Amino acid sequence: MRLTTYLAKRIGYTVFVLIGLSILIFTLARVLPGDPARMALSPRAPEWAIERLREQLRLNEPLPIQYLYWLRDAFSGSLGESLVTRRDVLTDITEFLPATLELLLFALIFDVALAIPIGMLAGRKANTWVDNIVRGFAYIGVTIPAFVFAIIFLLVFGYVLQIAPTVGRLSPGVMSPPKITGLITIDSLITGNFSTFVDAISHLILPSFALALGPIAQEARITRSSVVENLNKDYILASISHGLPERRIILKYLMRPSLIPTISIMGLDIASLMGWAFLVESIFNWPGMSRYGIIAMLRKDLNAIVGVVMVTGLVFAIANIIVDVIVSLLDPRIRMIERAK
């Protein structure tokens, strides 16, 4: 199987897209009104100081030249200095990104763990009360945006019932584990600090579940309908007619073809997940990329804006490559057709 060729092709294509994205966001950030140099300094700063900062930021060069400088720096591992933190944007991102990734990871775990079984169940029990309940919930999940769930969870579970913490990644007084991956759950497990692990999980539950609900609903619906469709396919009836055990038919012959559309749509859901994560982070005071990104926008911190967008794009691209590889593993037809091209 030439999965490696397929992978190489996809990665090449992704680099291309990311360069396109960088040109776009680089230009957009600069044509928006407002002078970043003036905003970075105090309102009373003298004109010569502002001019010096502009010079330093190369804002007086033509746009393409500015971009080429940025590209050169990017390839040598620097995303430029943030006007707010006065550190390299890459350093800032490595500090804030893990919190966001951890949130996304848990949302994805909830998503996969719930959407697929729920969708399979509803599909197998199509048009029964089970199915109707699932469809009702799925409808709610698809129509209500994640930040509304986040606010509801915050109020209900955080303030009224008080069963889960609602602020930050760890309770006050709990020490962060030494930074290895930056994901507190993983780092605390590696260092064998179980109580920190539990505390981190309890902080993750509400925001990640609020984030996951939309994708869960969407993917459960898609799984349901493809299960219903496949259940009536001749190949499933043929498996039954050969006397194969029910478990084997469902977990092998029904599940694999039914999951192909689900996993494909997951690639898109991951994108929307990242968008919503910015709002949910703000609601739960989650020290991730969102606060950094929002401040960057407000202060017109050019390098930070470009950096945040590029990292988001990169995470999205990687997630989609993974999704594509899984789909091509599930569906030999896709793999072989790609190969033939």
- Residues in contact with another protein by CB under 8 A are 126, 231-235, 237-245, 248, 252-253, 256-257, 260, 330-333, 336
Residue 81 main-chain phi, psi, to 5 deg: -85, 140
CB of 248 to another protein, least distance (A): 7
Q: Provide the 3-class DSSP secondary structure of residue 158.
A: helix
Q: Contacts from 161-166 at CB under 8 Å and sequence distance 24+?
A: 164/202, 164/203, 164/205, 164/206, 165/202, 165/203, 165/206, 166/206, 166/284, 166/285
CB of 243 to another protein, least distance (A): 3
**How far apart are the C-alpha atoms of 300 and 35, rounded to whole Å?**
8
Nearer to another protein, 87 or 256 (CB): 256
CB of 297 to another protein, least distance (A): 45
- List 88's β-bridge partners, or say none: 81
Exposed, middle or buried, 269 (CB in 10 Å: 0-12/13-18/19+)?
buried
CB of 222 to another protein, least distance (A): 17
Nearer to another protein, 331 or 338 (CB): 331
Nearer to another protein, 58 or 233 (CB): 233
Q: Provide the 3-class DSSP secondary structure of residue 169.
A: coil
CB of 113 to another protein, least distance (A): 23
Nearer to another protein, 95 or 338 (CB): 338
Nearer to another protein, 217 or 236 (CB): 236
